[in-house]
Chain A
Amino acid sequence: SQKIEQNSEALNIQEGKTATLTCNYTNYSPAYLQWYRQDPGRGPVFLLLIRENEKEKRKERLKVTFDTTLKQSLFHITASQPADSATYLCALSSGGYQKVTFGTGTKLQVIP
């Protein structure tokens, strides 16, 4: 069955450093990979989408890579700030009617 793995342990980093979150998947050939941010008690917020034929995408301090050979995506936040503290969800889609499967997320804590 399809499986999306994100590090369930919280990631603690110092303010100003680059945070790197990992998303691995198995038994899946996604056309799209997305990253969302979720704050406690709130709905996820869409951050970035990368297509299977793209290697890298950037948006401000965010960078996403997508390696379909390794079946892995890396999500980077450069110059991290305490306000970046949240849970980050990886999500995959095969396109079509756009059904999306979400990972369980990684909690990021940026320490001042």
Chain B
Amino acid sequence: SQTIHQWPATLVQPVGSPLSLECTVEGTSNPNLYWYRQAAGRGLQLLFYSVGIGQISSEVPQNLSASRPQDRQFILSSKKLLLSDSGFYLCAWSTPGQGYYGYTFGSGTRLTVV
């Protein structure tokens, strides 16, 4: 069965420090991968999506970047965190080309920038 792993679960980082959040998917090949951010009391904001290795599309100009070095690995990074980067970060995957069955989300990373 397919599983999605996201870590760490919580993270407290100072302003100006770098960030690396990792997401891996098991049990499927060539998934579509997504990074979302959820601010308190707000909806899910799509940050990046990827339809294949090395293929990254950005939805929102920001202080963050994403990479997909392997088929089932998706990384969210920042060189210098801002206070506004605080939030709940969620990785998700979906199956392309087989109809549409919804997203499967990871358990999320709660990032607090101090």
In the bound complex, CA of A43 to CA of B6 (Å): 10
Residues 4-60 of B at the A interface (beta carbon under 8 Å) = 6, 32, 36, 41-44, 46, 49, 51
In the bound complex, CA of A109 to CA of B41 (Å): 17
**Given the complex, which residues of A lie within 8 Å of B43, measured CB to CB?**
4, 89, 102-105
**Given the complex, which residues of B lie within 8 Å of A100, measured CB to CB?**
46, 103
Total count of chain A residues near the partner, CB < 8 A: 23
- The B interface is mostly helix, strand or loop, or mixed, namely strand
Residues 41-65 of A at the B interface (beta carbon under 8 Å) = 41-46, 49
Q: Are A45 and B49 in contact (CB under 8 A)?
A: no
**Given the complex, which residues of B lie within 8 Å of A18, measured CB to CB?**
none
In the bound complex, CA of A34 to CA of B22 (Å): 26
Which residues of B line the A interface, CB within 8 A?
6, 32, 36, 41-44, 46, 49, 51, 88, 90, 92, 94, 96, 100-108, 110
Residues 72-112 of A at the B interface (beta carbon under 8 Å) = 89, 93, 95, 97-105
Q: Are B51 and A46 in contact (CB under 8 A)?
A: no
Count CB-based A-B contacts (< 8 Å).
54
In the bound complex, CA of A69 to CA of B90 (Å): 33
Q: Are B44 and A93 in contact (CB under 8 A)?
A: no
Given pairs A32-B100, A42-B107, A46-B101, 5 additional interface contacts (CB within 8 A): A43-B106, A44-B103, A49-B100, A49-B101, A93-B100
- Smallest Cβ-Cβ distance to A95: which chain B residue: B100
A selection of 26 A-B contacts at a CB cut-off of 8 Å is A4-B43, A36-B102, A36-B103, A41-B108, A41-B110, A43-B6, A43-B105, A43-B106, A43-B108, A44-B44, A44-B90, A45-B105, A46-B104, A49-B100, A49-B102, A95-B100, A97-B32, A97-B96, A98-B32, A98-B96, A99-B46, A100-B46, A102-B36, A102-B43, A104-B41, A104-B43
Question: Closest Cβ of chain A: how far from B31's Cβ, in Å?
Answer: 11
Binary contact track A19-53/B, C-beta < 8 Å → 1, others 0:
00000000000001010100001111110010000
